Amino acid sequence: MAFTTWAALRTAMKDALADHYATGNFVGSYAIGNRQIKYKTEDEFFRALEMTYKMEALESAGDRASMVSYGRMRRYR
């Protein structure tokens, strides 16, 4: 399955979690852009879910619109 946002991918993965528990089969794969996430066990599933947060953070790290600066202007004498 292909997705356009990391949030949509996480939602689909969370929805599939119930099916995985019901069937006992944790094999699956998802794609977003040119990246593909595959998992075969429960641990790999949760690592893949965690990775979606990291990938989203990496892609938005340089976006100045979402950056916040908590510094203050200093006067040099």
The domains of the chain are located at 2-61
Query: What whole-number distance in Å separates Cα of residue 52 and Cα of residue 46?
Result: 10
Note the pLDDT of residue 26. 85
pLDDT of 22-57, one tens digit each?
Answer: 888 888 888 877 878 889 988 998 998 898 898 888
Please tell me whether the overall predicted TM-score, pTM, comes out greater than 0.75 for this model. Answer: no
Q: Higher pLDDT residue, 61 or 7?
A: 7
- Supply the angle between the helices 6-23 and 42-60 in degrees, to the nearest 10: 180
Sequence-separated (6 or more) residues with CB below 8 Å from residue 7: 56
Q: Which residues of 24-41 are buried (b: 16+ CB within 10 A; e: fewer)?
A: eebebebebeeeebebee
Is the pLDDT at 67 greater than 70, yes or no?
no
Do 20 and 28 form a contact (C-beta atoms < 8 A)? yes
Is the pLDDT at 63 greater than 70, yes or no?
no
Note the pLDDT of residue 73. 67
